[in-house]
Amino acid sequence: MQSESAAALKQRIDNRSAVIGIIGLGYVGLPLMKSFHLAGFPVLGFDVDPEKIEMLKAGQNYLAHLGKDLAREMVDAGRFDATCDFARLGEADAVLICVPTPLGKHMEPDLSYVEQSTDAVAATLRAGQLVVLESTTYPATTREVMLPRLEAKGLTCGNDFFLAFSPEREDPGRADFSTQTIPKLVGGIDAISGDLATHLYKQAIEKVIAVSTAEVAEAAKLLENIYRSVNIALINEMKVLLTAMNIDVWEVVDAAATKPFGFQAFYPGPGLGGHCIPIDPFYLSWKARELGMPTRFIELAGEINHHMPDFVVERTARALNRRGKAVQGARILVLGLAYKPDVDDVRESPSFELIERLQDLGAEVDYNDPHVAETHKMRRYDLGMKSVPLSAESLAGYDAVVVSTHHKAYDWQMIADKAQLIIDTRGALRQVTGARDHIVSA
């Protein structure tokens, strides 16, 4: 039987009066806020970055792929507010946590952002609130890390408040799916928590799939990303082998993909990028070590993928050497700072590692990215660089050009015609015409 708190929350969800609080207004939280706002709910955003809050309240959007009018439309509708004051969390009927879950120095899970957010929610927790974690993490985080913190003041989960896990599935810049159309998994700590969270998401998301527990939802998200990591590692290993055999790996993948069943195409690159694939598999391998169980596929895939920047640097050094030029003192341009094409998302981008490794070898390195005007301080990197102009004249001044991200904005034929030496990590120049002896696959 539903408690009074559960019944009251369901009624507020049904009449669209439930205030939806979002902690973390980045690549996950901001589009999620947009989805609930479009569904007619009042939304209240929380972030530790005052600059983000000021921009949103002024109607300005800092994530270009979501559209420049996103914040303005929310402000004009009068059902939106944003704040750095986490004491206001008690105003929200549902609190959705969308914070980073990075790795520590020893590849161990860093749950500090989840813990801090949970403690902030616990400080104002009241009867009738629903709390949902969206950040990717190892199974049992919601139950073992969040639940004790939230119940510490005497409220009971499933009766007074409600707790669930619903993994984010964002893919920034993707045109064929949006937050509203990507199917949503939801798993509760208990049955009533799962039912309420599922009911809430159904108001804003087209398809919501309820699973039996929070642990199933947590594990499903990790499986999605581990599947990609392992298959990317396989094709990266194939790239190294086929390159040594002077066989075009991209043509091989395209050929294999003509089979209408039993094969899904994955493509190689200079390393892994984004917040998910380079990080999430290690959350499960860490948990497995705690249980004394091996995760050989996960760890081998991580080893291969993390080695790819080394392979690119080695290929660059060899290509320069064949032209009588050392890496030390060479002028090198890296094309693309974002981790994927046509977005400004640089989280865990392998371009940063390429730049640092080339600089460590004594190269003078610049970058160009039409979507990223300058670098900013990150957890691992603080390059302090600005995107340099790209032109036929500027290309001719570099000893080598390393293609790290294949943005559509690039004129690959012009680049092929004007650059002295090109290290192509993405197969971006496969279709260019004319001389190709200066284009090296890596």
- What span, in angstroms and rounded, lies between the C-alpha atoms of 402 and 439? 10
Contact status, residue 428 vs residue 410, Cβ threshold 8 Å? yes
- Two structure tokens written together for 144: 């073992």
Query: Among this protein's residues, is 276 annotated catalytic?
Result: yes
CB atoms within 10 A of CB 336: 30
* Three state DSSP letters for the chain: CCCHHHHHHHHHHHCCCCCEEEECCCCCHHHHHHHHHHCCCCEEEECCCHHHHHHHHCCCCCCHHHCCCHHHHHHHHCCEEEECCHHHHHHCCEEEECCCCCECCCCCECCHHHHHHHHHHHHHCCCCCEEEECCCCCCCHHHHHHHHHHHCCCCCECCCEEEEECCCCCCCCCCCCCCCCCCEEEEECCHHHHHHHHHHHHCCCCCEEEECCHHHHHHHHHHHHHHHHHHHHHHHHHHHHHHHCCCCHHHHHHHHCCCCCCCCCCCCCCCCCCCCCCCHHHHHHHHHHHCCCCCHHHHHHHHHHHHHHHHHHHHHHHHHHHCCCCCCCCEEEEECCCCCCCCCCCCCCHHHHHHHHHHHCCCEEEEECCCCCECCCCCCCCCCCECCCCCHHHHHCCCEEEECCCCCCCCHHHHHHHCCCEEECCCCCCCCCCCCCCEEEC
382: left (phi over 0), alpha (psi -120 to 50) or beta: beta
- What span, in angstroms and rounded, lies between the C-alpha atoms of 81 and 142? 27
Question: Of the listed 84, 98, 157, 276, which one is catalytic?
Answer: 276
Q: How far is CA 188 from CA 158, 212, 305, in A?
A: 9, 7, 34
- Two structure tokens written together for 432: 């260019």
Identify the burial level of 76 via C-beta atoms within 10 angstroms of its C-beta, where 0-12 means exposed, 13-18 middle and 19 or more buried: exposed
**Residues with active-site annotation:** 276
